[in-house]
Amino acid sequence: MSLYLFQALNGIGLGMIYFLISVGLTIIFGLLNFVNFAHGAYYLLGSYLAFTIVSLSGNFWLALLLAPIVVAALAWVTEKTLIQRAYHLPHTFHILITLGIALIIQELSISIWGPIGKTVAAPPSLAGVIQLGDFFYPKYRLFVIAFTAVIALALWFLLERTRFGALVRAGSEDAQTVSLLGTHIHKLFALTFALGVGLAGLAGVLAAPIRGVHPFIGPEVLGLAFVVVVIGGMGSFVGALVGGITVGLVQSMMTTLWPQGASLMIYGAMAIVILMKPYGLFGRA
Amino acid sequence: MKLEINGIHSYYEKSHVLEGVSLQVNPGELVTLLGRNGAGKTTTLRSIAGIVKPAKGSIMFNNEELIGREIFDIARKGVLLVPEHRGIFGILSVEENLAIAVRSSSRWSLADIYEMFPRLYERRKNGGNALSGGEQQMLAIARALVNDPKLLLLDEPTEGLAPVIVDEIVRILQKIRSAGVSVLLVEQNLAVCEKLADRHYVIEQGRVVYSGSGEQFRQEQEIKNRYLAV
Ligand SMILES: Nc1ncnc2c1ncn2[C@@H]1O[C@H](COP(=O)(O)OP(=O)(O)OP(=O)(O)O)[C@@H](O)[C@H]1O
Ligand SMILES: [Mg+2]
């Protein structure tokens, strides 16, 4: 019993990290109609920056604050210099450009941090386990669940209850009309891209103490994020949340039941959703 | 706040749609742009708003050239297009549709708008996609009003609406004009145009073929038959 509870909690924690990655991907696609294949690479960068900041300062909290901001700032610069020029082009160009960015980030990471993986320690205050009766669970993983839940709420508030969020939603319906109302559409696009990518960076920081950092994780993360988005529906916040947790739970449960079958189950779940609801569980046509 | 369009040529890809359109809207005037389907009325409005980029000519607003500016930049000068398709955001509530357009410099606040359009107040929590055609048109105009308009470009605001709603829109346009906002109105309903306008232009195949005051135009049966009869 407690083994299943353990795996369920692991799955939720993992799923919330997948949510953070995918929600960024989905917001960017929704507003900018832009496919970001560099999303996994920015996650990777978040993890490595966390490693460096923790190594230098010994302070995980500093990494949690700074690394996503640096990743978002970098994304903003990339948007301004490169990505902005590609919005009007077909999706194949988006894929080429962002795959290029992903490779650059990955190869630079290898030359800076080396080809061998790194570990990042959880902060001392969250080291060890928490005990409830005869059930033990790592404190850090509980923290991840709570923290990502707060981030998810804040993000929901930002998207559903602020003017910025209304503009993002309006823009995903019709960007030209948003311009006609006097909104600086290029700023809105750049900010949204930076926000979405910054969330991937944040996910990278949070995952680092659990999964470590290694330079080839980008494509795997990207693949999972796409699965989540396909299951949940492109452009849907709730879809990213439900899809993320579903994938996290399936992955985690499968590690006790049939580890080799984890990927099979995830892609199987995706296939079923595509067959039954081509636009995903919460997607709009 | 004067609009002066001088000999603009606009294209869609290779097709030459505006072939030297010139017209003026003086401060506080309500001017109509009339013409048959496909004459180039919408394209003229889209050229002013910056959606279509004229290849030649000039569009001066308040002595500033608008050609070459970005859509949002033109909107920020108070030149606001209410497009034919109305552009209501279906996934936003009525209130959100207004809120994203609110500019504190506008003489119309959200409260003024709700007073002017009681129906929008009743429906403020509804999604934009739940509105009737008339309500969508009201919302589209209201959204321009909170956005601090100096010159409103209206593309067929009464199209497809019931007569009572048309009267309502006429009443609102009169209010807008008496507030001193200039209006360039594209409209098929001649009765509406004659009720409202100071001056009229008629456009045919991308050229202005007639211009005259409201009084003159009333007498022009020949022009109406030649250019406006269906
Ligand atoms: N997006 C477009 N691409 C190519 N041609 C277009 C496009 N939009 C309009 N046209 C053409 O340009 C010409 C002028 O169209 P425009 O929409 O300006 O006419 P209009 O006077 O507004 O007509 P209506 O009364 O039907 O709204 C027409 O011949 C039309 O077919
Ligand atoms: Mg038209």
pLDDT > 70: percent of chain B: 100
Cβ A19 vs Cβ A240: under 8 Å: yes
Q: Are A184 and B74 in contact (CB under 8 A)?
A: no
Whether B3 shows a pLDDT value over 80: the answer reads yes
CA distance, residue A173 to nearest chain B CA (Å): 7
Which SS3 state, helix, strand or coil, does residue A26 take?
Answer: helix
CA distance B223 to chain A (A): 34
The continuous run of DSSP H or E covering B202 comes out as: strand B199-204
- CA proximity to A152, closest of A20, A15, A14, A18: A20
* A282 contact residues in B (CB cutoff 8 A): none
Cross-chain Cβ contact B101/A182 below 8 Å: yes
Q: Which residue in B174, B215, B219, B216 sits closest to B192, CA to CA?
A: B174
Q: How does pLDDT run across B160-189, given as a tens digit for each residue?
A: 999 999 999 999 999 999 999 999 999 999
Please state, in angstroms and rounded to a whole number, the distance separating the CA atoms of residues B41 and B187: 9
pLDDT, position A1 = 65
Strands A135-138, A129-132: pairing is: antiparallel
Establish whether residue B206 lines the binding site of ligand 1, counting it when its CB lies within 6 angstroms of any ligand atom: no
8 Å CB contact of B96 and A166 = yes
pLDDT value for A3:
82
Report pLDDT for B230: 63
Q: What is the pLDDT along chain A (285 residues), one digit of tens a residue?
A: 688 899 999 999 999 999 999 999 999 999 999 999 999 999 999 999 999 999 999 999 999 999 999 999 999 999 999 999 999 999 999 999 999 999 999 999 999 999 999 999 999 999 999 998 889 999 999 999 999 999 999 999 999 999 999 999 999 999 999 999 999 999 999 999 999 999 999 999 999 999 999 999 999 999 999 999 999 998 899 999 999 999 999 999 998 888 888 889 999 989 999 999 999 999 876
Question: Helices marked H in chain A — which ranges?
Answer: 2-32, 39-57, 60-81, 91-113, 139-161, 163-173, 175-180, 185-211, 217-232, 237-257, 262-276
Contact between residue A203 and residue A15 where contact means Cβ atoms under 8 Å apart:
no
Residues of A in contact with B49 (CB under 8 A): 180
Q: Do A183 and B92 touch (CB under 8 A)?
A: no
Closest ligand 1 atom number to CA of residue B18: 14
Nearest-angstrom CA–CA distance, A61 and A58: 9
Look at residue A139 in the predicted model and tell me its pLDDT: 96
Relative to the CA of B36, which ligand 1 atom is closest?
A: 25
Confidence at B73, pLDDT banded by 50, 70, 90: very high
Over range B132-147, report the average pLDDT. Answer: 97
What is the mean pLDDT of the segment spanning B16-42? 97
* pLDDT tens digits for range B100-113: 999 999 999 999 99
